């Protein structure tokens, strides 16, 4: 197997890891207003992803770095052509991450509410835009003979792209609801399971329409098998959720995301960015790749460091594996508790 194919597969695996892990982080943030009814429950939801969200984001950083090193032409065309949506994703991620870091810095209800809004918006926007971006990458975009993107933001906001955004948003929300049910107990756990059941139906309808459209447009037998397996995994996840088997339900939505992303990359291969202007202008694993020497060095680096990263992240999940309840959350301090005290902050 050629190293260009190996690195295409490795980049696909990195995106699978990112969407399957960061997907439930997005889902928790997206569902915050619907699942948490008081401050203690909001704290519970923050704590479900608090120890792992930053580790989950590493996957997208490595995916971007690997694309830059292994397929520089792909990276250049992608990041120049998709500059605005990728910038919006980056800003949203920064705002979302600030919510994790700054929400607890001040004992104020209004302060916490502002950061809760930042978390929700910073979760919804990437969840939608990642779907828009990948739908366009797989279906193709206008690229000229110089390998330059000739469209604009509105080119990406086509019906297939928008459907892709709805699919990723609903799938991440379902994944997040099941993760909350897996990691909590009490009322919020039951609320999350009920929400997952409703979201799962919406996700199934949207996903079937999207995957069918992609399959008709660009797919082959391999991608069709992956898409069918993804649909079966989602059905299994919903069945497990209805029986209260949150662990199996989470494995099911994890597998759904993994298989769906794998199907997209299988539909894309051997292209990395198809051109709708002229097929001859498409970027492929061959004409967009770095030199063989570069790929060889990268392969040795990946062989050495990838197992270390995987073991560390697995250890993190194992350490923070227990359920979280409101009983372990202290009572919030109201705004007026500090009124009249030295050093009290007045809003």
pTM: 0.91
- What pLDDT score does 17 carry? 94
- Judged by DSSP in three states, 149 sits in strand
Give the pLDDT confidence of 308-319 residue by residue, as tens digits. Answer: 888 988 898 898
Residue 282 in tokens: 């498409």
Q: Angle between the 53-70 and 83-102 helix axes, to the nearest 10 degrees?
A: 150
Q: How big is the chain, counted in residues?
A: 347
pLDDT above 70 (res 341): no
pLDDT above 50 (res 86): yes
For residues 102 and 46, what is the distance between their CA atoms, to the nearest angstrom?
12
- Identify whether 97 is part of a domain: yes
- What pLDDT score does 334 carry? 58
Rg (alpha carbons) of the chain, rounded to whole number: 21
- What pLDDT score does 92 carry? 96
> Running DSSP on this structure, what letter comes out for residue 338?
G
Q: Which of 55, 56, 26, 58 is nearest to 171 (CA)?
A: 26
- What pLDDT score does 336 carry? 53
pLDDT above 90 (res 325): no
What is the mean pLDDT of the segment spanning 64-84? Answer: 92
Ramachandran bin of 20, using left for φ above 0, alpha for ψ from -120 to 50, beta for the remaining angles: alpha
What is the mean pLDDT of the segment spanning 230-254? Answer: 96
Counting the structural domains of the chain, the total is 1
* pLDDT-based confidence at residue 345 (cuts at 50, 70, 90): very low
pLDDT above 90 (res 220): no
What is the mean pLDDT of the segment spanning 78-85? Answer: 90
- What pLDDT score does 324 carry? 87
Residue 241 in tokens: 């959720």
* Strands, E assignment, the chain: 271-273, 283-284
- Identify whether 303 is part of a domain: yes
Alpha helix (H) residue ranges in 103-186: 109-139, 153-156, 159-183
- Identify whether 232 is part of a domain: no
Residue with more model confidence, 219 or 146: 146
The per-residue pLDDT of the chain, averaged, comes to: 90
pLDDT above 70 (res 89): yes
pLDDT above 60 (res 132): yes
Residue given tokens 């989950």 in the structure block: 56
- Judged by DSSP in three states, 275 sits in strand
- Identify whether 202 is part of a domain: no
Domain encompassing residue 167: 3-197+268-327
Q: Residue 108: which residues within 8 A CB-CB, separation 6 or more?
A: 335, 345, 347
Tally of CA atoms within 13 A in the half-sphere of 283 that contains its CB? 28
């Amino acid at each position: 197997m050629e190293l260009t194919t190996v690195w295409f597969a490795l980049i696909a695996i990195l995106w699978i890891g990112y969407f399957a892990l960061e997907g439930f982080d997005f889902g928790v943030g997206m569902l915050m207003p619907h699942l948490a009814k008081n401050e203690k429950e909001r704290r519970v939801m923050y704590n479900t992803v608090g120890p792992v969200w930053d580790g989950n984001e590493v996957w997208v950083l490595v995916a971007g770095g690997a694309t830059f090193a292994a397929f520089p032409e792909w990276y250049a065309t992608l990041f120049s052509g998709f500059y605005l949506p990728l910038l919006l994703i980056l800003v949203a991620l920064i705002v979302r991450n600030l919510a994790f870091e700054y929400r607890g810095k001040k004992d104020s209800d209004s302060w916490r509410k502002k950061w809760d809004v930042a978390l929700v918006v910073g979760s919804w926007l990437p969840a939608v835009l990642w779907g828009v971006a990948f739908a366009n990458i797989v279906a193709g975009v206008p690229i000229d003979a110089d390998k330059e993107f000739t469209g604009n933001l509105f080119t990406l906001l086509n019906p297939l792209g928008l459907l892709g955004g709805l699919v990723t948003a609903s799938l991440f929300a379902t994944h997040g609801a099941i993760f909350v049910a897996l990691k909590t107990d009490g009322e919020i756990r039951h609320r999350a399971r009920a929400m997952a059941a409703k979201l799962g139906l919406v996700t199934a309808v949207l996903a079937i329409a999207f995957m069918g459209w992609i399959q008709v447009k660009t797919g082959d037998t391999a991608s069709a098998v992956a898409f069918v397996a993804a649909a079966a995994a989602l059905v299994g996840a919903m069945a497990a959720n209805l029986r209260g088997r949150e662990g199996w339900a989470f494995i099911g939505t994890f597998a759904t995301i993994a298989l769906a992303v794998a199907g997209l990359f299988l539909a894309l291969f051997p292209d990395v960015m198809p051109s709708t202007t002229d097929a001859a202008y498409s970027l492929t694993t061959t004409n967009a790749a770095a030199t063989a020497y570069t790929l060889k060095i990268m392969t040795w680096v990946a062989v050495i460091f990838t197992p270390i990263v995987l073991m560390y992240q697995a250890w993190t999940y194992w350490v923070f594996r227990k359920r979280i309840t409101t009983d372990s959350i202290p009572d919030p301090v109201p705004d007026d508790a500090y009124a009249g005290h030295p050093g009290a902050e007045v809003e």
